[in-house]
Amino acid sequence: MASALTDKLTRLVKEMRGQARITETNVQDMLREVRMALLEADVALPVVRDFIARVKEKALGQEVLGSLKPGQTLVSIVNRELAATMGEGVADINLAAQPPAVILMAGLQGAGKTTTTAKLAKHLIEKRKKKVLTVSGDVYRPAAIEQLKTVTKQAGAEWFPSTPDQKPLDIAHAALDYAKKHYFDVLLVDTAGRLAIDEALMKEIKDLHAALNPVETLFVVDAMQGQDAINTAKAFKEALPLTGIVLTKLDGDSRGGAALSVRQITGAPIKFAGVSEKLDGLEVFDAERHAGRILGMGDIVALVEQVTAGVDMEAAQKLAAKVKSGDGFDLNDFLSQIQQMKQMGGLSSLMDKLPSQLTAKAGALDMDKAEKDIKRKEGIIQSMTPLERRKPELIKATRKKRIANGAGVHVQEVNRLLKEFEQMQGMMKKMKGGGLMKMMKKMGG
Ligand code: GDP
């Protein structure tokens, strides 16, 4: 699904090579692909239009910086703009209120409100050492009240009882009183789910908002909702002054375009992402990482294919077994890793396959220099005797000088390589399973 975009972008990036500026004409095709990608990721159409217009404006006439090609520059503009649109920095829960700080949870039925309420309770207890009370205003579904009771207990918070014969407003007042009397820091209010936007229920949550004066009004939205998210978001934004968004079910296979739509429509920051049904499946939302997901990570797949194709699997397995058996990782293994790096088709070819936000960061790196560096390292290890490679601790001053001479480098470079080897060895010991090679095998499936 994702790789189609990245293939196209890669091709277009190549076509744009050698051009020094982003112009109306060379940007056209690329923007079309970006637009398709956003639509495929289920970003709502008006949001896509807006976004593309902004990127175009930012990109036109922009000088292509340093070693970056116009295509890469454009992709990095798209990425940055995506991340910026979805929010920058960390937006944690605001608790700056006279205790108890009230947090009102809003959203459609099934969006994940109850689960998220418990996840947040757990987060606030564990990360911010707060005393947390939860209450359900969902008097229409007794099962919903019970569900909150169960997950609240699992989260280690206290649950305030409510019953279907009560009015949501009365429940809210009673819970607030109780929270005040018992010195709770936070009161989390779960609300009635609605299957679709419903006038009566909207009024109910508005009244709840007015009565509780929450410091946070969080809109919980299912990332799998795709295009529909925009209408839900609009309705909730009109009804309530939203202070934040929780995007749930990001562990599903949607590309998460809803994040962009919802953020743009509500203007509220995306504070958390739900990444599992379990109570520890709540993450602080990372806009940059999410931008990569929306644009598609097909490049990563291509990269891994190339990597695993180039790797000598037998050697990798031997290495893995060795580390596991505690035989240790020596300079021969280090050399074989360096050689496998070379087999993967050289660094610059790998760079082309990395997601653009990474290449943008690495833009300043001189690839030729990095490849020469690999060759030099190979030379140094090859100037060592078999015994030295197996027992690097033997390599003292005289041996270092001999090795440096043999490889035509300074002694400092030998020192640097030994230091790098030691770091890698330490890492391998920690991983106890073959490290890089094992990871690659896993990624390669
Ligand atoms: P509510 O009706 O808005 O209160 O939604 P619930 O909290 O009952 O969640 C609806 C369903 O979605 C339940 O089966 C949850 O376990 C599931 N769910 C909620 N959040 C997540 C999430 O982040 N990831 C996954 N995989 N499932 C979730």
Write the pLDDT tens digit of every residue in 402-437.
Answer: 999 999 999 999 999 999 888 877 776 665 544 444
Q: Are the beta carbons of 309 and 406 closer than 8 angstroms? A: no
Residues sharing a CB contact under 8 Å with residue 425, sequence separation 6 or more, in sequence order: 328, 329, 334
pLDDT score recorded for residue 164: 93
375 or 112, greater pLDDT: 112
Distance CA 164, CA 175 (A): 15
Which of 8-22, 157-171, 197-211 is the least confident region?
8-22
Instruction: Give distance in angstroms: CA of 276 to centre of ligand 1.
Output: 8
> 107 labelled as ligand-binding?
yes
Averaged pLDDT for residues 331-351: 66
Residue matched to tokens 């709540």: 282
> 165 labelled as ligand-binding?
no
pLDDT score recorded for residue 199: 87
Give CA angle at 10 (29, 309), nearest 5°: 160
3-class state of residue 307 by DSSP: helix
Band the pLDDT of 7: cuts 50, 70, 90. Answer: low
Parallel, antiparallel, or unpaired: how do β-strands 101-106 and 186-190 relate? Answer: parallel
- What are 109-120's pLDDT values in tens digits? 999 999 999 999
DSSP label at residue 23: -
Q: Nearest residue CA, atom 13 of ligand 1? A: 112
Give CA angle at 431 (426, 437), nearest 5°: 100
pLDDT score recorded for residue 67: 45
Parallel, antiparallel, or unpaired: how do β-strands 270-274 and 282-284 relate? Answer: antiparallel
Instruction: Give distance in angstroms: CA of 113 to centre of ligand 1.
Output: 7
Q: In a 10 Å sphere around its CB, with 0-12 CB exposed, 13-18 middle and 19+ buried, how is residue 59 labelled? A: buried
Instruction: Give distance in angstroms: CA of 50 to centre of ligand 1.
Output: 31
Averaged pLDDT for residues 372-384: 88
Averaged pLDDT for residues 285-303: 65
Instruction: Give distance in angstroms: CA of 277 to centre of ligand 1.
Output: 6
Band the pLDDT of 289: cuts 50, 70, 90. Answer: confident
> 134 labelled as ligand-binding?
no
Instruction: Give distance in angstroms: CA of 235 to centre of ligand 1.
Output: 21
Q: Nearest residue CA, atom 19 of ligand 1? A: 112
Q: Which of 129-133, 290-294, 418-422 ranks highest by mean pLDDT?
A: 129-133
- What are 159-171's pLDDT values in tens digits? 999 999 999 999 9
Residues near ligand 1 (Cβ within 6 A)? 107, 109-115, 193, 248-249, 251, 274-277, 281
Q: In a 10 Å sphere around its CB, with 0-12 CB exposed, 13-18 middle and 19+ buried, how is residue 56 labelled? A: middle
Q: Nearest residue CA, atom 28 of ligand 1? A: 277
> 113 labelled as ligand-binding?
yes
Q: Which domains, from first to last, does the chain contain?
A: 3-86 (1.20.120.140), 101-286 (3.40.50.300), 298-444 (1.10.260.30)
**Ligand 1 atom, smallest distance to 220 CA:** 3
Residue 211: pLDDT over 90: yes
Averaged pLDDT for residues 57-73: 63
pLDDT score recorded for residue 85: 87
Instruction: Give distance in angstroms: CA of 238 to centre of ligand 1.
Output: 24
Residue 304: pLDDT over 60: no
Residue 62: pLDDT over 70: no
Helix axes 70-86, 3-15, angle to 10 degrees: 140
Half-sphere exposure of 113 (CA within 13 A, CB side): 26
- The full DSSP string for 343-401 is HTT-HHHHHHHS-HHHHHHHTTS-HHHHHHHHHHHHHHHHTS-HHHHH-GGG--HHHHH
How high is the ipTM of this complex? 0.99
3-class state of residue 44 by DSSP: coil
Mutate to test the pocket of ligand 1, among 115, 140, 154 (most ligand atoms within 8 A of CB): 115
Q: Are the beta carbons of 157 and 132 closer than 8 angstroms? A: yes
Determine the longest span between alpha carbons in the chain, in angstroms.
88
Band the pLDDT of 360: cuts 50, 70, 90. Answer: very low
pLDDT score recorded for residue 72: 60
pLDDT score recorded for residue 106: 96
Q: Nearest residue CA, atom 5 of ligand 1? A: 112
> 61 labelled as ligand-binding?
no
**Ligand 1 atom, smallest distance to 147 CA:** 8
The share of the chain scoring above pLDDT 90, in percent, equals 44
Residue 444: pLDDT over 80: no
Give 199-235 as a 3 state SS string.
Answer: HHHHHHHHHHHHHHCCCEEEEEEEHHHHHHHHHHHHH
- Residue 362: count other Cβ atoms within 10 Å of its Cβ: 15
Distance CA 409, CA 403 (A): 9
Q: Are the beta carbons of 219 and 242 closer than 8 angstroms? A: yes
Instruction: Give distance in angstroms: CA of 62 to centre of ligand 1.
Output: 44
pLDDT score recorded for residue 325: 53
The share of the chain scoring above pLDDT 70, in percent, equals 72
Averaged pLDDT for residues 349-377: 59
Instruction: Give distance in angstroms: CA of 216 to centre of ligand 1.
Output: 20
pLDDT score recorded for residue 81: 86
Q: Are the beta carbons of 31 and 295 closer than 8 angstroms? A: no
Type of residue at 107: G
Residue 244: pLDDT over 80: yes
Band the pLDDT of 216: cuts 50, 70, 90. Answer: very high
Distance CA 230, CA 247 (A): 13
> 109 labelled as ligand-binding?
yes
Distance CA 37, CA 4 (A): 9
> 112 labelled as ligand-binding?
yes
Among 57, 73, 121, which Cα is nearest to 95's?
Answer: 121
Where do runs of H (alpha helix) occur along 129-274? Answer: 142-155, 168-181, 199-212, 229-239, 258-266
Q: What is the mean pLDDT of the chain?
A: 80
- The full DSSP string for 321-344 is HHHHTT----HHHHHHHHHHHHHT
> 322 labelled as ligand-binding?
no
Averaged pLDDT for residues 46-59: 89
Q: Are the beta carbons of 85 and 38 closer than 8 angstroms? A: no
Mutate to test the pocket of ligand 1, among 152, 253, 277 (most ligand atoms within 8 A of CB): 277
Cα→Cα distances 57→51, 54, 62, 77, 87, Å: 10, 5, 10, 11, 20
Residues sharing a CB contact under 8 Å with residue 182, sequence separation 6 or more, in sequence order: 133
Residues sharing a CB contact under 8 Å with residue 310, sequence separation 6 or more, in sequence order: 340, 343, 344, 345
Total residues belonging to the chain: 445
